[in-house]
Amino acid sequence: MKTYVLRTCAGDMTSFDGSFTWPASGLVEAPDWDPKPECGGGLHGFLLGCGDGQLADWSESANWLVVEIDRETLIDLEGKVKFPRGNVMFCGDREGAIAVLEGLAPEAKHMPVIGARRMVGDNQVVYAGYYGKAVAGAYGNAEAGYGGTAIAGYGGKAIATAYGNAVTGNNGKAVAGAGGKAEAGAYGKAEAGDNGKAVAGDYGKAIAGAWGKAVAGYNGSAIAGAGGTAIAGDYGKAEAGYRGKAVAGEGGKISIEWWDGNRSRTAIGYIGEDGLKPNIPYPCNEEGKFVAVVKEEEKGNGSSADEFASLDSLPVEDLAKQSLQTLRRYAALHLKIIGASKIPGGKAKLLEKIQAKRKG
């Protein structure tokens, strides 16, 4: 029975170690075939495009091949296969190779092919492998491999593995592995692994692992692991692990784990009580007390306070005459607008945020 493998070669058509040169088309045979289930002694590739994508050549000059082989001759090496001979059906770029592969083997369309970019409609499931991109509509399910991107619409689920990016709409769930980023809309849930970033909208829940960052909107819940930072909007809840930081808006609640020398404890605070202010990062000291983080810009002789007081008195049309950098400092340090330096839309959108905060 015939089947197909996907593989890459260098720009000069040589193999990974340069010891073998592949033809751009036609029959090919390994000069050193050995059926032992170990690397070497044969031709190698990814069965139906699936396997350990780290073994592929992702450089711009790489050639992507689709090779027809006899299924009975392949040896599974976990993450790739090897075979004695085959027939090169295509040689070209990645997108072209994947298109040819899926044309020859339609079942590959529903498998996590490395580097694949796919899109499906509502209520459907889509998979992409290593460095791939999967997009699904409302209530759909999108999954991408290492370093890939998974996007799902309203009520959908997006899953990306390590260093990937998972994004879903309102009421959805986004999950990213270590070092990845997960974003969910209102009422959604975002989960990221260690060193990752999880962002959820209003009424959402964001969870990040150790040294990660979790951000949730109004009335949301943000949870970060040890050494991480949890940020929640007004009336939200921010929880951080040992040596972490917690930030919450008006009416919010913060909690941080700390060690009293004998056991783990949890410090709990309520914004507006005991001197706790909204939108201020609070770590926990060795006595279980919250201590506000004071930025260098806020230390000194009070010149910043005087500057901000003068800006407070300006109408919006005069504020618009200030530099973007000045407005960002004013919004972040004085008005405590989270993410003021990264608001998309330039000065106009920042002024809208400032105006809304001042009215509130």
Output the average pLDDT for the chain: 89
pLDDT value at 282 more than 60: yes
pLDDT value at 302 more than 50: no
% pLDDT > 90, the chain? 59
The answer to whether residues 46 and 108 touch, using CB atoms and an 8 Å cutoff, is no
Give which of 140, 107, 108, 38 is closest to 79, Cα–Cα: 38
Residues 42-86 have pLDDT tens digits of 999 999 999 999 899 999 999 999 999 999 999 999 899 999 999
pLDDT value at 293 more than 90: no
Residues 312-360 have pLDDT tens digits of 878 888 788 787 778 888 888 888 887 777 777 778 888 888 888 888 7
pLDDT band of 305, cuts 50, 70, 90: low
pLDDT band of 9, cuts 50, 70, 90: very high
pLDDT value at 20 more than 60: yes
pLDDT value at 294 more than 60: no
* Strand bridging mode 253-259 / 264-270: antiparallel
Region 191-209 average pLDDT: 92
CA dist 223 and 231 (Å) reads 8
Q: Which helix (H) or strand (E) holds 309?
A: helix 303-312
**What pLDDT sits at residue 62?**
96
Compute φ and ψ for 79, nearest 5 degrees: 105, -15
CA dist 299 and 294 (Å) reads 7
Higher pLDDT among residues 131 and 2, named by residue: 2
Which is it for the CA torsion 345, 358, 232, 138, positive or negative? negative
Query: Cβ contacts of residue 248 below 8 Å, gap of 6+?
Result: 231, 232, 233, 236, 237, 238, 254, 271, 278, 279
Among 2-11, 28-37, 184-193, 298-307, the least confident range: 298-307
CA dist 208 and 42 (Å) reads 43
Q: Give Dmax over CA atoms of the chain in angstroms.
A: 82
Higher pLDDT among residues 359 and 13, named by residue: 13
Q: Tell whether pTM > 0.85.
A: no
Name the one residue in this structure whose structure tokens are 């072209």: 96
**What pLDDT sits at residue 296?**
45
**What pLDDT sits at residue 303?**
47
CA dist 183 and 157 (Å) reads 11
